[in-house]
Structure 1
Amino acid sequence: MRPIILAAALLLTGAAPALAAQTAAAPARPATVAQPTPAEKQEAQDREVVQKAMLAFSRGPLDPATVTALQQVIAHAPAAWPLVQKVPDGQTIVRLNGGSMTDTLSALLTAAGSPEAREGKGVAVAFNTYGVAALMLGSRGVSLGQPQEALTWLERGLAFQPDNLMLVTEKGMALALQRRFAEALAFYDAQPPQDPLARPVDPNGPARLLRARGYCLIELGRLDEAEAAYKASLELEPDHGGAKNELAYIRDARAGKPPQQPGQLMTGEEAKTYPAK
């Protein structure tokens, strides 16, 4: 059986209990600035919309009004909203997708060892308002089997946040649903190395990218390369059930055994715990 293992935005549902803490972790503003700028005011309003949508998403499919609200948030996105951003006052902002207090602490500890911190410059953790909005809309399109709708929002998100591996792998999933495997693989292979400061944002992103590559390589008949990709992913994220099942599929394919069932769409958490053969 070959499960499709992404729909990455569903990984965010576990973050809902920590949203209040993430709001509190917004970057500190310099003491000399008395009032927020118009852009900061807009982002604060958009952040509230996205966090409410995340809470709703944790309970079930998004209703049309929430979808429209997220689309309006994307319309407010700046031209650049990277996961790791140096701002003019020398501070570095690390934007988290939600996550737990452990994720926040991990981000802060990672940042504490960064060159910016060693140079005495501040590093702050903030909520990834616009990246999460694009991811939720894109993942919704994938889960509904509407890859072109998904691509509309994922490509919009990647335009302002190209370093977001969740957006990257979700776009590849949308391409895979259209059976554009070679294009998805080329897109994955074009990704630059991840910024160390971004790792707490999506710690399993590199492993997920390897699994996504492996999926496309199988579909392209490049089994040896696919096997290597899945084995490398298990070094980063051991005991991932989906990766182990894909390795079993490769063994069966080499032995001439047909798959037991057709492929299916699975969320990231479902794939992780999928019982390995």
Structure 2
Amino acid sequence: MKQRTLLAALALLTLAQPARAQTESDDTAAKASISQATQLIREHKAQEALAMLEPAVAVANDSVAKAREDGLAFCASDITLAVLYSAMGAKENKPSVVFGPEVCSAYFLEAYVLTELGRRDEAIGELQILRGLSPMDAQYASELAFAYIKTGRISEAEAAYQNALDYAEFFGDKDKARHYRAAALRGLGYVAIDKNDFDAAEDFYKRSLKIEPDNPVAKSELEYIRQHRAN
């Protein structure tokens, strides 16, 4: 079913208006900011990284707002997702502006840094913006789900993990697709344990191990389930 959906989207792309992007100078500046912020994150300098990212995020906000004045706005970290988002605009007969991975990265890194600084609600806000711009990206769905779990929003986490599971196969990179499918299954397993549904949790973790057989988290959680049942 999803394969047919993808083929239909590829067909619709021939009808889409050309996607616009940031100007070349904006793109270059964003890449530089993201590169420097990434290095600062590696050096555990979260506050400095946040300051470095803020101009890139501001430019992204402005570009997205302008794009939405006329139609739809997306960002894509993967060429397959870019194709799908362009097709979504064609289907609605609207111009579809697909920004490159720099826009996605700006929001994603800002969310990461805000989390590191203990500003979880703000981080969730950035991830929600990112999900709106890249609604079929399994990585961003999983990150938002994890953030929801950390703030006790379990039902929202479950929905986001389910989205990640549904959309993982849309990655052009099949290794990445498998990884995020397994990650989503582990997330759903965590949610099932929180709901005291140990049978469902066991099923999710076992399914994840079929994809990533050596994952220590899944193995540990299955052992936890075994010990819970023994008690």
TM-score normalised by the chain length of structure 1: 0.59
1:176 has 2:149 as partner: yes
Percent identical: 25
1:133 has 2:106 as partner: yes
1:240 has 2:215 as partner: yes
Q: 1:48 aligns with which of 11, 32, 37?
A: 32
Q: How does 1:1-277 map to 2 (within 5 A)?
A: 39-62=23-46, 64-77=47-60, 78=64, 79-82=73-76, 83=78, 84-86=81-83, 128-191=101-164, 192-193=166-167, 194-199=169-174, 203-256=178-231
Q: Once the 2 structures are TM-superposed, how far is the Cα of residue 69 of structure 1 from its aligned partner? A: 2.6
Q: Once the 2 structures are TM-superposed, how far is the Cα of residue 219 of structure 1 from its aligned partner? A: 0.7
Please give the alpha-carbon distance, in whole angstroms, between the structure 1 residues aligned to 2:219 and 2:161. Answer: 21
Structure 1 residues 146 and 221, CA gap change in structure 2 (3 angstroms): farther
Runs (5+) with no aligned partner, structure 1:
1-36, 88-125, 257-277
Is the Cα contact below 8 Å between 2:114 and 2:122 reproduced in 1?
yes
Alignment correspondent of 1:260: none
Paired residues in the alignment total 183
Structure 2 counterpart of 1:42, one-letter code: D
Structure 1 residues 38 and 74, CA gap change in structure 2 (3 angstroms): closer
Structure 1 residues 41 and 202, CA gap change in structure 2 (3 angstroms): farther
CA shift digits 1:76-134 (9 cap, x unpaired)? 234311233139xxxxxxxxxxxxxxxxxxxxxxxxxxxxxxxxxxxxxx972122222
Structure 1 residues 49 and 81, CA gap change in structure 2 (3 angstroms): same
Give the structure with the larger helix fraction.
2
**Higher normalized contact order (CA 8 Å, seq sep 6+, divided by chain length):** 1
Structure 1 residues 143 and 166, CA gap change in structure 2 (3 angstroms): farther
Runs (5+) with no aligned partner, structure 2:
1-20, 65-72, 85-98
Structure 1 residues 188 and 128, CA gap change in structure 2 (3 angstroms): same
Q: Once the 2 structures are TM-superposed, how far is the Cα of residue 246 of structure 1 from its aligned partner? A: 0.8
CA shift digits 1:213-272 (9 cap, x unpaired)? 11111111111111111111111112111111111111122223xxxxxxxxxxxxxxxx
Is the Cα contact below 8 Å between 1:147 and 1:175 reproduced in 2?
no
Instruction: Tell me how large the CA RMSD over aligned residues is.
Output: 2.7
